[in-house]
Amino acid sequence: LRFRLAGYPRKHNEGRVEVFYNEEWGTICDDDFTLANAHVLCRHLGFVAATGWAHSAKYGKGVGRIWLDNVNCGGSEKSIEDCRHRGWGNSDCSHEEDAGVVCKDERIPGFKDSNVIEVRTLWAQGPGGGKWPRWSPCSRSPAQRHRSRSGMGGPWAARRGRQGGCGPHWRLHRGALSTPCSPCRLVAERQQLNYRLHSVSCAGTEVHLSLCAFEFVRGNASAPCAAGMPAVVSCAPGPLFAAAGAPKKKPRQQQQGQPRIRLKGGAKVGEGRVEVLKSSEWGTVCDDRWNLQSASVVCRELGFGSAKEALTGARMGQGTGPIHMSEVQCEGTETSLWHCPLKNITEEDCKHSEDAAVRCNVPYMGYEELIRLAGGRTVTEGRVEVKRGNKWGTVCSDGWTTKEAMVACRQLGLGYSLHAVTETWYWDASNVTEMVLSGVKCEGHEMSLSHCQHHGVSLSCKNTGTRFAAGVICSETASDLLLHAPLVQETAYIEDRPLHMLYCAAEENCLSSSARRANWPYGHRRLLRFSSQIHNNGRADFRPKAGRHSWVWHECH
């Protein structure tokens, strides 16, 4: 049995209960439904308990079969099958009586959600400081390559490359390894390999290698993989992970004039709310039927690996504007989300509380090992220290702004920058005193401070010494303010106002500079006036930069 939550409007932990039985999704009738039934169903869905339930198709009417009716659980059952009911498919209900549940927003520890893939890989050090997996899947010898479903060909290689986060392009090397993968051959020759898998056979739509058909190597096998050698893939990096300094090509989707796609609201690289560009307007994707296959298409389109989580219920914040897509149903092989079957949306179908989001597998680049924080009260703040060559040192704070701090927090894996600190004498807890980086100027999207413009070896800093070293305060969440521009256009008007009514506006610097030369309090000013709305699209409250202790009373307001 498989279970899912569906319908609208809803959060990720509530909805119409749908059950997959006999190769078909169906619903549950609300006759005799109780909170005890909801407890059992919420545990099926991976939540610790239920806080409520809904009747009369509160989350919309389902389709297909009504699988269960007159369900009567005690609340402690391990499966809904253990509860009393009329039998599978035996019901006198209509879909106007579909039952829903509201689950407590707390996951059962270790629960494996069908929309979440957990990956644990053991790594070993390879030549040149690279990292290689300790286990190796076995590939066949050249003579056996033509045999169907026994080797490590096409779809398998694509799967491994997509899963690891190297973009959609891949090459598979077997037998005599070609020049680009000569380090792999060296590893194979020097190490005693410990084979784990053989006969791996993927369809190409899987989001993780563990979902493919394969066989484990028996522990007592005298010569595992005797007819083959370690399977090796070579992946082409996505645009974010291309070598620093390499000429950047325009993404294929822009060259072909296709709608673009982006992630917003995520604290880390490779995660966020999915937004797509249609008719020159950015919009979101509804989470109806959102799953790992569709999420993986998004991740690979952006140059990451496959998806490790397909998030529903606006877990990465609610977007604004139109909702362009609903009921996206990708097979997993598509190169763009726009190539997947989908439903055009109306406002009644979906709300922004149902915006879909993803967390992608991101290739390990080692950037976080080249930066650290020192002296902070918590692990999310401190003086920035970077590694240049074999030496750790500080960063000059001349021109250190939020953009540079954003890149530093991203490189550290700590999310967003709350503050870009230019004096760090109070974080003086490190024996590192030498400055190794100056003139740092970032655009804000870089993966590492070394990818930003900087002075290189010719260091130049107005304020030297550790007192003026750059620092950051990072946060997992942040506010994201968005001006409602149409409202400004709709409400703008011109007004003449006497100067004696504008003293407060002058003190607040709301008038143009020429007002200083006016004959106060006589005369008047012509003002452009308008209403404004500021939406906070982020996942944290917006707070003034100045702390409450430094606020002052002003008679104007």
Q: What is the pLDDT of residues 137-161, one digit of tens each?
A: 555 433 333 333 333 444 444 444 4
Contacts of 269 (CB under 8 A, 6+ apart): 240, 362, 410, 447
Question: How many Cβ atoms are within 10 Å of 166's Cβ, its own excluded?
Answer: 23
Instruction: Give the model's pLDDT for residue 127.
Output: 38
Q: pLDDT per residue over 242-253, tens digit each?
A: 654 444 444 444
CA distance 454 to 121: 36
Model confidence at 177: pLDDT above 70: no
**Residue with the larger pLDDT of the pair 208 and 556:** 208
Least confident of 7-21, 45-59, 179-193, 292-306: 179-193
Here the tokens at position 33 are: 């439904």
Buried-exposed string 515-540: b where 16+ CB fall within 10 A, e elsewhere: beeeeeeeeebebeeeeeeeeebbbb
User: What is the rounded distance in angstroms from the CA atom of residue 96 to the CA atom of residue 62?
Assistant: 8
Per-residue pLDDT reduced to its tens digit, 493-528: 999 999 999 998 888 888 888 988 898 999 889 999
Residues forming a β-bridge with 307: 360
Top pLDDT among 476 and 405 is at 405
Instruction: Check: CB of residue 116 under 8 Å from CB of residue 271.
Output: no
Name 417's bridge partners.
Answer: 474
Whether 165 has a pLDDT exceeding 50, the answer reads no
Does the pLDDT of residue 191 top 70, yes or no? Answer: no
Give the C-alpha separation, 276 to 284, whole Å.
6
Q: Provide mean pLDDT across the span 308-332.
A: 88
* Tokens matching residue 298: 């998004």
Which has the higher per-residue pLDDT, 284 or 317?
A: 284
Tell me the CA distances in angstroms from 517 to 501, 504, 506, 556, one per residue in order: 16, 16, 12, 22
Q: How confident is the model at residue 121 (pLDDT cuts 50, 70, 90)?
A: very low
Q: What is the mean pLDDT of the chain?
A: 80
Domains of the chain, with CATH numbers? Answer: 2-103 (3.10.250.10), 261-360 (3.10.250.10), 367-475 (3.10.250.10), 483-536 (no CATH)
DSSP calls for 455-508: -TTS---SS-SGGGB-EEEEES----EEE-HHHHHHH-EEEEEEGGG-HHHHHT
- Tokens 């540079």 correspond to 404
Angle, vertex CA 475, rays to CA 469 and CA 478, nearest 5: 120
pLDDT of residue 554: 74
Output 47 or 536, whichever has higher pLDDT.
47
Q: Which residues of 394-412 are buried (b: 16+ CB within 10 A; e: fewer)?
A: bbbbbbbbebbbbbbbbbb
What's residue 245's pLDDT? Answer: 43
End-to-end CA distance of the chain: 62
Report yes or no: 441 and 479 within 8 Å, Cβ to Cβ: no
Tell me the per-residue pLDDT of 406-465, one tens digit each, with 9 for 90 and over: 999 999 999 999 899 999 888 877 788 899 999 999 998 888 999 999 998 888 998 888
Tell how far CA 323 is from the center of its chain: 19
Give 8-36 pLDDT, tens digit per residue: 667 778 889 999 998 888 999 999 999 99
